[in-house]
Chain A
Amino acid sequence: MLELRDVQVVFDGFRALDGVNLTVPDGELRFLIGPNGAGKTTLIDVITGLTRPVAGSVRFAGHDLVGRKEHQIVRLGVGRTFQTSVVFEELTVIENLDLAAGFRRPLWTLARRRRGVSEAVAEALARTGLEDLAERSAGVLSHGQRQWLEIGMLLAQRPRLLLLDEPVAGMSKDERERTGELLTRIADDHTVVVVEHDMEFLRRHASTVTVLHEGRVLVEGSVDQVSADPRVQEVYLGRKASDAVGHRP
């Protein structure tokens, strides 16, 4: 489904990604971990067209993604969230979802007023559990609710691949729990790649994990395999717990 070959990214002489190979098969829930600066977010930026690699290929469902514009990649079915959630605060929850769902409509059909709720929007509302907040403006949502709305906006677009950048950062324990359940359910019928720092969250919800270190894939496997690997322990898990669990500054 998603296949990265020998991807290299250079920022002002610094090799952010140094020959990454990554294959994510259809229907998988893949976790991407690694210490700060390992290149996790850069990897997502490359897939979604925000950053251009100097070498290597990114293929998704038979399409070459390198060189395509961001919105074109989204139209191929790749959706992403950001570390800092961006929802449109002046719009209501339902308008946010409707905006996301309508991205394939021709521009002139948007000139009509929204009537009712489309199927995709209703489904996204139900899945994220935001039905009661549907008519509230997104500006009043809590941090956790915003993240769910953002995931809901992705779902409303019916993407084939979801890329989530630290979806539980800054969330309370309960919110993490709910997000984990949401992710597991989404993974039932989507391919999902999650960048996450939170080890506890990882142990509870991850099946396959890819560890990045200094712009390369260090190791790939189940949670147990990965945490048992001495190299991983050395670069990542072996450090103080606070480093491993902490968030990106």
Chain B
Amino acid sequence: MIRRNLPFAAVAVIVLVVAPLLLEPFRLSLLAKYLCYAIVALGIGLAWGQAGMLTLGQGVFFGLGGYSMAMHLKLTEGGGLPDFMVWSGVEELPALWVPFGDPVLALATAVLGPMLIAAVLGTLVFRQRVRGAYFAILTQALAAAMVILLVGQQGLTGGTNGMTNFFDVFGQDLADDSTQRGLYLVVASVLGVLYLATRQLVNSRYGRLLVAIRDGEDRVRFLGYDPALVKTVTFALSAGMAGLAGALFVPVVGIISPALLGVVPSLELVVAVAVGGRHALAGAVLGAVVMGYAQTAFSEQFADGWLYLQGALFILVMTLAPKGIIGVAERWRRARTT
């Protein structure tokens, strides 16, 4: 038990204690951003890596969480209507916005909204036995539709620009370094708790059932389980994680816009999970952090090169190391011990 949790404890100490001491505030808040992505990746690891549902639309759920939080932040900073509404000529606060003034309701919507949508979508498609590439295309179309919807509703959502210029979160000044450090610690703790919970789920009988559904859905049906229900529940859990990640992302990064949740960001996260190793939850988390870091590092040097590098990395991993970084590390460790 202790031995098994040692790596997790070591990473937790580094992330929660060492990183805040060593990193300057700018870098720390970048790391917080990667950790937000890692929460989404954890959900993808669960849905895709464990249960075989290749979801290319996690950006939708991430965005729902992000917009919920952004709306709340806009409403609590005072001074009447949100800035973008004034620019768009909106004169009265739309009824849809009213509930988001309440922090509990806003957070609940950020998590439960995506779960509800995933549950409805899952019920509809998994009952019809839509799976594999068809499910992937469907979720990707959802991401594309979401962007169109957000851009079209300029007065409600800020259109292409999304929402930015947030000044404080739950009464804390966002420009303050201590607020950013606090946010970082919150994001890291949320990720840690979700990781442990998901790991517990994966190691349980439920996790075995997910692997069985991934490898032989029809056979599972003839064992008396309803794969559609199990998949729907799992998909909803992964959507909830993405929603929470979106809600955390907004105060950390200070912006939410359609460009952050469309088809491309959704795909990038799946690529990150594949690179890290989709069959292990730690691989998904690692992939998100590594790819996030790599993106920042390379974009600082060569602005456009990153996309090509990302594509090349994905192809390399898929052909040479289908189990990702974690798979390679595992092989090395085994080679050393035997």
A86: contacting residue among B201, B206, B216, CB under 8 A:
B216
B219, CB-defined interface residue at 8 Å: yes
Q: Indicate if the CB atoms of B219 and A86 lie closer than 8 Å.
A: yes
Cβ of B131 within 8 Å of any chain A Cβ, yes or no, is no
Binds A, one of B4-12, B168-176, B226-234: B226-234
**Known A-B contacts A88-B215, A89-B215; A102 and B222 likewise in contact (beta carbons under 8 Å):** no
**Chain A residues within 8 Å of B208, by CB:** 88, 91, 95, 98-99, 114
User: Does any Cβ of B come within 8 Å of A48's Cβ?
Assistant: yes
Residues of B within 8 A of A86 (CB): 216, 218-219
**Interfacial chain B residues near A80, Cβ < 8 Å:** 222
Q: Does A147 contact B (CB under 8 A)?
A: no
Determine whether the beta carbon of A74 is less than 8 Å from that of B209: no
Contacts of A69 in B (CB 8 A): 226
Task: List B contacts of A112 (CB < 8 A).
Answer: 204-205
Q: Of all chain B residues, which has the CB nearest A88?
A: B212
Do A102 and B205 touch (CB < 8 A)? yes
Q: A97 to chain B: closest CB distance in Å?
A: 11
* Contacting pair A99 B222 (CB below 8 A): no
Q: Are B205 and A114 in contact (CB under 8 A)?
A: yes
Task: Assess the B205–A98 pair: CB atoms within 8 A.
Answer: yes
A111–B200 CB distance below 8 A: yes
Query: Which residues of chain B (190-247) have a CB below 8 Å from chain A?
Result: 200-201, 203-206, 208-209, 211-212, 215-216, 218-219, 221-226, 229-230, 233
Contact assessment for A71 and B209 in the assembled complex, using a CB-CB cutoff below 8 Å: no
- Number of A-B pairs whose CB atoms are under 8 Å? 74
Report Cα–Cα, A91/B219, bound state, in Å: 14
Complex CA distance for A104 and B223, rounded to whole angstroms? 10
A107 to B230, CA, bound (A): 8
Query: How many of A's residues come within 8 Å of B, CB to CB?
Result: 30
The reply to whether B223 and A153 contact each other, CB–CB distance below 8 Å, is yes
Q: Which residue of B lies closest to A86 (CB)?
A: B219
A103 to B221, CA, bound (A): 10
A95 to B212, CA, bound (A): 10
- A110 at the A/B interface (Cβ < 8 Å)? yes
Minimal Cβ-Cβ distance residue in A for B214: A90
A149 CB to nearest chain B CB (Å): 12
Are B223 and A99 neighbours in the complex by a CB distance under 8 Å?
yes
Question: Is the CB–CB distance between A157 and B224 below 8 Å?
Answer: yes
Q: How far is the CA of A139 from the CA of B201 in the complex (A)?
A: 23
Cβ 8 A contact of A107, one of B212, B223, B229: B229
Residue A247, interface by CB 8 Å = no
Return the contact of B225 from the options A88, A98, A103, A113 (Cβ within 8 A): A103
Q: How far is the CA of A157 from the CA of B216 in the complex (A)?
A: 18
Is the pair B206, A103 in contact by a Cβ cutoff of 8 Å?
no
Check A74–B212 contact: CB distance below 8 A: no
- Inter-chain contact A74/B222, CB cutoff 8 Å: yes
Task: Give the complex CA separation of A193 and B274 in angstroms.
Answer: 45
Q: How far is the CA of A38 from the CA of B49 in the complex (A)?
A: 41
Could you say which of A80, A82, A110 has the most chain B C-beta atoms within 10 Å of its C-beta? A110
CB within 8 Å of B: which of A49-83?
A: 69-71, 74-75, 79-80, 82
Q: Which residues of B contact A103 (CB under 8 A)?
A: 223-225
Smallest CB separation, B150 vs chain A (Å): 34
Bound together, the chains give a CA A131 to CA B324 distance in angstroms of: 35
Report the nearest A residue to B203, measured CB to CB.
A113
In the A-B complex, the 6 residue pairs with the closest CB atoms: A74-B224, A103-B224, A110-B206, A110-B205, A86-B219, A70-B221
* 28 cross-chain CB contacts under 8 A: A48-B222, A71-B221, A71-B223, A71-B224, A71-B225, A71-B226, A80-B222, A82-B222, A86-B216, A86-B218, A95-B208, A98-B205, A99-B205, A99-B209, A103-B223, A103-B225, A104-B224, A105-B205, A107-B233, A110-B206, A111-B200, A111-B204, A112-B205, A113-B203, A113-B204, A114-B205, A114-B208, A157-B224
- Known contacts A82-B222, A111-B205, A113-B200; 14 additional CB pairs below 8 A are A70-B222, A71-B221, A71-B224, A88-B211, A88-B219, A90-B211, A90-B215, A91-B212, A98-B208, A100-B223, A103-B223, A107-B229, A110-B209, A111-B206
